[in-house]
Structure 1
């Protein structure tokens, strides 16, 4: 088993899901609608009914896709480009059909006229995982957020403020004490004279 990404119908990453190790490609997953209740995943048995009778099976809707291609690291909100995937699948099919035609033509030739066997040339796989956020949204996410102080920081700040106030009061006391001593000395010198 391996974990592969699961995306919604817009290609935006939802979560990882476990699949068989051999899984690759892109496959849809469905939600079922029954009597107005949506997004209830269930399995139903196939029952053959006459064509003129309405079916009691729930209606199925594509809810998203399971992607067998790993998510490109470094994306803020990964989005799978479903249009690019479909174009790539179409190009692969066209390349395979062209190879089959060339191979059939090669086999139809006599051995002495064949030359080199045709080679399947697959188109390069495009970048399928892209950023799902706009540059403005990324800037908003990456902007440094103001840090709100916790209670310990707040108490520490208050304690430093109180210690500074106490130091200022001590300095004022010393200055006033020195003035008082100076006045007492002047008074003693006046009394002695």
Structure 2
């Protein structure tokens, strides 16, 4: 099993879903908007009465989105699968395959000595199918730094640092005053000795 993206009908990413490892391509998924008895259940009894074979009033299921067998590339903020590009790519692949089949049929119809080289299937390059659905302005708004409100621990830490800086300043002032006092005492001593 592998996880592949699910998109809505506009191609916007919804979520990942698990599929078989061999899954590839693009497959629709449906919403069942039917009234009455669900599909698969025998319609023999409804409200306690036996039913005969009635014409079915089943409505067509609505496409809800697509399961995509192509992984989303990293770095997209709001990935969108380009369904139009996928359809164009599928059409180009089919045209290339049909062209190859025609060339192969013509080649096989020729006698062996006239055949030449075997035709080669030339597949078109796969376009970029996953695109960013947000504008650069929306991405800038999402990625700009948000102001952070300090929590109680941050506030207490800031106050503690401020108090330590105040204590350091008081120590420096105390040392300066102590040096002045020592200087005055030495001056007094020198005056007494003279």
Label 1:140 to 1:17 Cα distance change in 2 as closer, same or farther (>3 A).
Answer: same
Per the alignment, residue 22 of structure 2 pairs with 22
Per the alignment, residue 6 of structure 2 pairs with 6
**How far, CA to CA, are the matches of 1:165 and 1:34 in structure 2?**
76
CA positional deviation for 1:102: 0.6
Per the alignment, residue 67 of structure 2 pairs with 66
CA positional deviation for 1:44: 2.1
**How far, CA to CA, are the matches of 1:46 and 1:122 in structure 2?**
45
Please report the RMSD computed on the Cα atoms of aligned residues, expressed in angstroms: 2.8
Per the alignment, residue 92 of structure 2 pairs with 91
- Stretches of structure 1 that go unaligned for 5 or more consecutive residues are 36-42, 176-193
Q: TM-score, normalised by structure 1?
A: 0.74
Label 1:167 to 1:118 Cα distance change in 2 as closer, same or farther (>3 A).
Answer: closer
**Residue 32 of structure 2 is aligned to residue 32 of structure 1:** yes
CA positional deviation for 1:71: 0.9
Per the alignment, residue 77 of structure 1 pairs with 78
**How far, CA to CA, are the matches of 1:28 and 1:81 in structure 2?**
14
**How far, CA to CA, are the matches of 2:106 and 2:121 in structure 1?**
14
Per the alignment, residue 122 of structure 2 pairs with 121
**How many equivalent pairs are there?**
166
- Stretches of structure 2 that go unaligned for 5 or more consecutive residues are 44-52, 178-194
Q: TM-score, normalised by structure 2?
A: 0.74
Q: Which of 15, 39, 43 lines up with 1:44 in the alignment?
A: 39
